[in-house]
Structure 1
Amino acid sequence: MKLALFSATIYTGSQHSLWAEALLIEDNRIAAVGNTADIEQLMDSRTRFLSLPGRLITPGLVDGHCHFVNQGVLLQRVDLRGTVSLGSCQEKISQTVKATAPGDWIVGRGWDQHRWPEGREPTAKDLDALTPDHPIMMTRVCGHSIWVNSLALSIAGITADTPDPPGGYIEKDPATNEPTGIIRESFEMITSCLPCMKPENMRKAALAAQKEALSLGITAVHTCEGLPEWQVLSQMETDGHLKIRVYHLLHPEDVEAADAGDIHPDFPRDHLWFNHVKLYADGSLGSGTAYLHAPYEGEPDNCGIPFLSLSQLQEKIEYAYGRNCNVAIHAIGDRAVTNCLQAIGNARSKYPGPHRDRIEHVQLFRPDDLELFRKLEITASVQPVFLLSDKEVATLKWGRQRCRYAYAWKTLLDDGIRIQFGSDAPVEPINPLLGIQAELQRSAVSSRKSDDWVTHGSLTLPECISACTLQPAWTSNRENDLGTIEPGKLADLTVFHQNLFQVPAAGWHDIEVDLTIVNGEIVFQKAPYPALRKITI
């Protein structure tokens, strides 16, 4: 079948010809791009067409860093994102308590004490007041701390005498030494007590996440999850139910387990593949565990937590290289970024490559590290939507002076470093326009003089679109098939109801996606929408 799209503004992202008004899809690939007359000459009795006046067509948008299945899981759990007080969190949790049988776990995510007027972290007692009969675990928005009630602590056997777990710590009351209900970075003592998610429930979560993502114009995601999620997605593809493309970043233990199966780098399927091993160098800003060269403001003894020593990080990287994989390393603090660069450089002396490594988040860096960043050709996989939630916390914890090199994507790009965008959903909403809008509106994001560092250099809209299309295609080894609208490439397209280039970013709140096309198939269309018409020759 052929599908022609007419009368639109087409932003191709191609260096050869940036703009067009019509295109032709044949089977699952772009057959031609040009003006209406060019495309009309190629139409025949197999061609169906849509006229799309006023619409903008871009290459299919990619979320370059998320936790895809977990985004779907959150849709089925308590979603505390956006809550503005401890009381509003308690109210949401109470609603779930009423609908949950006694003894069953209540699980959710999204609290952020920095948004609350209470000015403190929550405690187990704040949850104990809601129910004596349900163990509760609420993950912080960043995913690096959990908040549990006394029943959950009891089930896990956590007491005043319990030592900190490897790589994490249990917050304890300095007066009584009793656990407060906050645990940072290492949660297995609690999570091991939760009932395992059944594959059928994980599949429901994946389908829910897919439905949401496709409705937002997302044609592919780079997801950081484990082997169980991979297996569910793999079965969905086998069954023909995986409509979105998924590039999977696997943990080292999952790669090792996969060695015995049919999973290997560049797994030969069209919608599901992997080539990066996901590692962690530090924690998060909000939890105060991002690893820094100098202490946090007002915390002279806290430089954050290094998840791995430099030698351990190098060993993990060499493990990945030895299996023909690249690495994607979580690093938020400036010292974590430095350690990543040094460890990658050391590992490449044994495994020279070529490599397409990436550092995830890069929320703070030192200018001294830019040269090595560029020399190693590492991609900065960043989340501009964090500007909306982190600006005040960054100023508070890192200080205005240090923040000159916080969230400074333009500085990286101008220095020749590749940039790709992601949402880190479910940490933040998966909507890609929110991140692009935050990046384009840096001056609006900064509301206080102390946060004026936010306004340093903004990417342009074409640079933002590239960060959501061509760059993630490159890091996933698919730039020959994806990332731009050119003849021969796979037909992954996002169709916006209005032209983003003609509407100021402040007015994007009402812009919707009309169509999402993956592999030449319309996988989402906003109803009502005119039916495809068949040409008569």
Structure 2
Amino acid sequence: MNIDAIFTDLDAHTLDPARPRAQKIGVFAGRIIGFDEELDGITADRVESLDGATVLPGFNDVHCHTAWFGLTLASIDVTALPGGLPDVYAALEKAAATTPAGEWINATGYAHRDYDGQYPELSRLDEITGERPLFMRQTSGHAAIVNTEAMRQAGILEADFTEPVGGKVVRDAAGHPTGLLEETAQALVQDLIRPYSLDTIVEAIDLATAYYAKEGITSFGDCGIAYGWIGHSPIEITAYLRAREQGKLRARGQLMPQADGLHEIAANSADGFGIGLDAGVRTGLGDEFISLGPVKFFMDGALSGETAALRENYVGKDHPGYLQADAEALRKQILDTYASGWSVAVHAIGDAAVDAAVANIVDAQARYGRRAVPNRIEHAGIVHDEHLRTLADNGIVVTPQAAFADGIGDGMNASLGPERRPLLYRAKSFVDAGIMVPGSSDRPCADGNVLRGIEAYVTRKTRAGDVMGAAGESLTPDEAIAAYTSVAAEASGQGADRGTLTRGKLADFVALGAHPAEVAPDEISQIPVRATVLGGRFTHDAR
């Protein structure tokens, strides 16, 4: 018998208890056909030595923003510039010098906590940009900084302007806009730029997934596409299909439409259809390369900008954040969506938002049953003990991002104070309670490198040397690896095809210079990725 490929000289940790380790992997038609002695007497078109590498199942980032990340790679990067705000202004000046009048200047990566809590002065931005509208997205994605020209074009400066539901145009003491737009208010300016062309999105997917390949990522969930302030085009799925056709999609994507695109469908009344997308498409449609996942809902904002909805006020502030819309309207939208066959992924960070998200998902499942693709709470930033059993009993997935520890962990600790801090972005408590915790980054809102994510799960180390939340929430290296592999697959409803190295599953794996459990915790991120294999073929090869 002749097969497509045999990978040799490796130490595979399969995460499959039926065969925990292997030294050879055989591949046929993109899937694993056997291991070790099962390959005796079998020949292959290719025999690939992995030079003694540690092999793990391919990494899966279940909550990232792939097209958005690709766009940031082509934008001005103002992430934590060493010289402070003067460096930000200098980067914008350089861009303005080569941008014709009237054209947009796009920047990304601004985080006020990296600049001593400061935001750029609107007058200085106007001086630099002149007639060129500016859109500078904050790292969290939940706010943006714009100039006067952008606000003028968006109608924000008109006398009869009214703020959008779920967002805010931040103003100074005199009532003048500062250039900071929170949450849904960003869309007022974004809609002047969008929709992006298919060619632009395809190029972004190409850039992003080439980056993923170098980091061992073989699967991802693009969490919020096509609609709302987080989408790029109402035909964004077509961009993914085109990227695949052109060989520019180097990882398997589960695409999660943003709920703003859902609408009434003129189905037969006997079908009990709630709201959905045209033609009745729903979660599960697709194949092993591109499929539709849950619908993404926003309950609240972010802790980094103190817009997440808390039960009690932020430390030193007179407000607890806010929900993105009326609580009852959100509940009805979630129930109507679930009735139409969609699974749901509800962004809920503050504990008040988590309260509502848990109640809504439990209600939906009680009415309509569970889904093959589990329902999720995205981020689950502040979860009380009272919810742990409910989450586990109802099979609800949570996606806390350990990678937030470095960039915004110190700020979130301060915003919550010592009493609430132990509830922040928990992990071990979830795992011990039997709740699925898949690995995710929220990239580009945080570092998406999976090995750094695994390290962050283990150390929870912040930039100032503290820990995010409680040190007792740390995972072991093996638990963190499972989060990005086997648990990620199950949490995405894809455990039959990926997540472990098992005969019959997709031949997706990563070859590393060492096993994360065999190095010091703060050295996990330094492990080299020697190769990434997707369906038996290299997407990255640094052997």
**TM-score in terms of structure 2 length:** 0.90
Is 1:428 aligned with 2:430?
no
State the partner residue of 1:111: 110
Q: Which amino acid aligns with 1:95?
A: K
Report what 1:471 is aligned to: 487
C-alpha change, 1:515 and 1:58, in structure 2 (3 Å) is: same
Query: Paired residue for 1:357?
Result: 375
- Pairwise mapping of residues 179-198 of structure 1 onto structure 2 (< 5 A)? 179-186=177-184, 187-194=186-193, 196-198=195-197
**How many Å separate the matches in 1 of 2:235 and 2:10?**
41
Aligned residue for 2:418, secondary structure, equals coil
| 1:442 maps onto 2:444 in alignment | no
- Decide whether the 8 Å contact of 2:62 with 2:492 is kept in 1: no
Further displaced range: 59-68 or 224-233: 224-233
Q: Mind listing any 5+ residue stretches in structure 1 that lack a counterpart?
A: 530-537
1:475 CA displacement: 2.4
Equivalent residues, number: 518
Deviation at 1:63, TM superposition (A): 0.9
Instruction: After TM superposition, list the pairs within 5 Å mapping 1:271-350 onto structure 2.
Output: 271-300=289-318, 302-350=319-367
1:149 is the counterpart of 2:147: yes
Partners of 1:10 and 1:20 within 8 A in 2: yes
Distance 1:125 1:100, change over 3 A: same
- Greater relative contact order (CA < 8 Å, ≥ 6 in sequence): 1
User: Aligned runs of 1:62-81 on 2, under 5 Å?
Assistant: 62-81=60-79
**Corresponding residue number in structure 1 for 2:128:** 130
Spell out, residue by residue over 1:89-123, the C-alpha distance to the aligned partner (whole angstroms, 9 max, x if none). Answer: 22222221122112111112211111113x42333
Give CA-to-partner distance per residue, 1:231-284, whole Å, 9 cap, x none.
Answer: 100223344543310001112344559843584432232210013111011000
Alignment of 1:374-385 (within 5 A): 374-385=392-403
- Partner-residue secondary structure (3-state), 2:175: coil
1:325 is paired with a residue whose SS is: coil
Structure 1 residue aligned with 2:23: 21
Match of 1:9 in 2: 11
Residue in 1 aligned with 2:273?
none
* Mapped contact 2:402–2:453 kept (Cα < 8 A): yes
Match of 2:175 among 174, 177, 182: 177
How far did 1:160 drift? 7.6
**Structure-2 residue corresponding to 1:89:** 88
Greater alpha carbon shift after TM alignment, 247-256 vs 322-331: 247-256
Q: 1 CA distance for matches of 2:475 and 2:500?
A: 19
Q: Which whole-Å CA distance do the structure 2 matches of 1:232 and 1:262 have between them?
A: 20
Distance change (3 Å), C-alpha of 1:259 and 1:120? closer
Superposition map of 1:352-431 within 5 A: 352-354=369-371, 356-431=374-449
**Kept after mapping to 1: 8 A contact 2:5/2:28:** yes
Contact kept? 2:512, 2:531, Cα under 8 Å: yes
Contact 1:143 1:427 in 2 (8 A): yes
Q: Which residue in the other structure is 2:231 paired with?
A: none
Inter-partner Cα distance in structure 2 for 1:209 and 1:346: 37
Distance 1:282 1:262, change over 3 A: closer
What code does the residue aligned with 2:210 have? K
Establish whether residue 507 from structure 1 lines up as the match of residue 523 from structure 2.
yes
Give a deviation string over 1:142-183, Cα, whole Å, max 9, x none: 111111112212222222843322211111111x21111111
> Does the CA-based 8 Å contact 1:159-1:178 persist in structure 2?
no
Deviation per residue, 1:284-322 (Å, 9 max, x gap):
01111000000111112x111111333223222222222
Residue identity in the other structure for 2:256 = L
Mapped partners of 2:396, 2:510: distance in 1: 28
Tell whether the 8 Å contact from 1:3 to 1:49 is kept in structure 2 after alignment: yes
Q: Which moved more, 1:66-75 or 1:437-446?
A: 437-446
* Residues 481-492 of structure 1 aligned to structure 2 (within 5 Å): 481-492=497-508
| Equivalent in the alignment of 1:232 | 239
Q: Deviations over 1:332-372 (max 9, x none)?
A: 11111111001112222321234610111111111222222
The 1:165/1:443 distance shift into structure 2, 3 A limit, reads closer
Q: Relative to structure 1, is the Cα distance of residues 340 and 211 closer, same or farther in structure 2, using a 3 angstrom cutoff?
A: same
Q: Distance in 1 between matches of 2:134 and 2:461?
A: 40
Paired residue secondary structure (1:296): coil
AA partner of residue 407 (structure 1): Y
Name the structure 2 match of 1:497: 513
Q: Which amino acid aligns with 1:236?
A: A
Q: Report percent identity of matched pairs.
A: 25
Instruction: Say whether residues 1:218 and 2:208 are aligned partners.
Output: no
Task: Quote the RMSD (CA, aligned, Å).
Answer: 2.1
1:99–1:396 distance in 2 versus 1, CA, 3 Å: same
The residue type equivalent to 1:188 in the other structure is A
Residue pair 1:160, 1:172 contacting (<8 A) in 2 also: no
Separation in structure 1 between the aligned mates of residue 405 and residue 131 of structure 2, nearest angstrom: 39
After superposition, the Cα gap between the structure-2 partners of 1:163 and 1:491, relative to the gap in structure 1 and judged at 3 Å, is same
Q: 1:196 to 1:40 in 2, by over 3 A?
A: closer
* Secondary structure in structure 1 of the residue aligned to 2:518: coil
1:533 aligned residue: none
Note if contact 2:26-2:39 (Cα within 8 Å) is conserved in structure 1.
no
Supply the AA of the counterpart residue of 1:203.
V
C-alpha distance 54-11 of structure 1, shift in aligned 2 (>3 A): same
From the superposition, tell whether residues 264 and 368 of structure 1 become closer, same or farther in structure 2 (CA, over 3 Å): closer
CA contact (8 A) 1:274 1:476 kept: no
CA contact (8 A) 1:314 1:346 kept: no
Whether the 8 Å contact between 1:267 and 1:273 is mirrored in structure 2 is yes
Aligned 8 A contact 2:57 2:499 in 1: yes
SS of the residue 2:390 aligns to: helix
In the alignment, structure 2 segments of 5+ residues that lack a partner are 227-233, 266-275
Q: Which residue type is aligned with residue 472 of structure 2?
A: H
- Whole-angstrom CA distance in 2 between matches of 1:375 and 1:390: 31
The change in CA–CA distance for 1:516 and 1:262 in structure 2 (over 3 A counts) is farther
Matches of 2:261 and 2:246, distance apart in 1? 23
**How far apart are residue 83 of structure 1 and its match?**
2.7
SS at match of 1:182: strand
**Structure 1 length normalisation: TM-score?**
0.91
With over 3 angstroms needed to count, the CA separation of the structure-2 counterparts of 1:172 and 1:255, relative to structure 1, is closer
C-alpha distance in 1, partners of 2:356/2:280? 33
Counterpart Cα distance in 2 of 1:203 and 1:512: 28
Q: Secondary structure at the match of 1:7?
A: strand
